[in-house]
């Protein structure tokens, strides 16, 4: 079954770590709500959000400019590792980050690094929606017009599309 471990048989207070793109400089309520739904679907008690790029901005598109220098990438690595140390499961949802030039090279390096970190923890389950689609875009991904789900509530639809990422497939391209 796709869903997470049973609460009746496993320890309480299980934490799902969501690895997203970068922090919003606004309240990320839609993203937080979507991740909370995913945690409930996967039977996790708590959520912790971390990002592959550390500097906040209104949109991940801003990584094109902000990500030219290494600072935001390197800082994110320590924050991601700290979060993973407390993870019982991981949800990746950084989406396609439109970058070019130096930021594209840094993003590619960051995704290789994240893949290696997750592969070094083979017992840590990892999930994604689509191709690591960002939670703020999940409502579009599960809409009726795409025919990916059989309908119902957002939670029901998300249950149908959230997929485990096998250890060997924990590699994302930029």
pTM of the model: 0.89
Would you place residue 26 in the very low, low, confident or very high pLDDT band (cuts 50, 70, 90)?
Answer: confident
User: Strand 162-164 and strand 46-51: pairing?
Assistant: unpaired
State yes or no: pLDDT of 3 exceeds 60. Answer: no
State yes or no: pLDDT of 5 exceeds 70. Answer: no
Rounded Cα gap, residues 15 and 46, in angstroms: 5
Specify the pLDDT at position 7.
39
What does the pLDDT look like over 109-136, one tens digit per residue?
Answer: 999 999 999 999 999 999 999 989 999 8
What does the pLDDT look like over 28-54, one tens digit per residue?
Answer: 688 999 999 999 999 999 999 999 999
Rounded Cα gap, residues 108 and 154, in angstroms: 32
Specify the pLDDT at position 28.
65
| Alpha-carbon torsion, ordered 168, 90, 57, 142, to 10 deg | 90
CA-nearest of 120, 106, 125 to 54 is 106
Specify the pLDDT at position 59.
85
The DSSP result for 65-76, as a single string, is HHTTSSHHHHHH
Q: Which DSSP symbol is given to 57?
A: B
Q: Which sequence spans correspond to the domains of the chain? A: 15-169
Question: Angle of helix 154-161 relative to helix 29-41, nearest 10 degrees?
Answer: 70
| Residue range 156-161: mean pLDDT, rounded | 96
What does the pLDDT look like over 62-101, one tens digit per residue?
Answer: 898 998 999 999 999 999 999 999 999 999 999 888 899 9
Per DSSP, the chain holds a count of helices (H) and strands (E) of 6, 5
| Residue range 57-66: mean pLDDT, rounded | 88
Q: Which fold has domain 15-169?
A: Rossmann fold (3.40.50)
Rounded Cα gap, residues 159 and 154, in angstroms: 9
């Amino acid at each position: 079954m796709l869903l997470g471990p049973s609460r009746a048989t496993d320890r309480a207070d299980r934490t799902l770590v969501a690895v997203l793109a970068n922090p919003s400089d606004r309240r990320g309520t839609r993203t937080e709500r979507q991740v909370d739904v995913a945690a409930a679907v996967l039977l996790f008690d708590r959520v912790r959000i971390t990002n592959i790029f550390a500097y906040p901005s209104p949109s991940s598109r801003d990584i094109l400019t902000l990500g030219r220098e290494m600072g935001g990438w390197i800082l994110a690595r320590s924050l991601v590792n700290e979060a993973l140390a407390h993870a019982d499961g991981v949800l990746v949802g950084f989406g396609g980050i439109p970058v070019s030039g130096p930021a594209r090279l840094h993003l590619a390096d960051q995704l290789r690094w994240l893949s290696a970190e997750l592969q070094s923890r083979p017992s840590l389950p990892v999930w994604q929606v689509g191709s690591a689609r960002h939670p703020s875009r999940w409502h579009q991904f599960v809409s009726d017009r795409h025919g990916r789900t059989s309908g119902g509530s957002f939670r029901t639809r998300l249950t149908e599309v959230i997929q485990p990422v096998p250890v060997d497939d924990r590699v994302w391209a930029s």
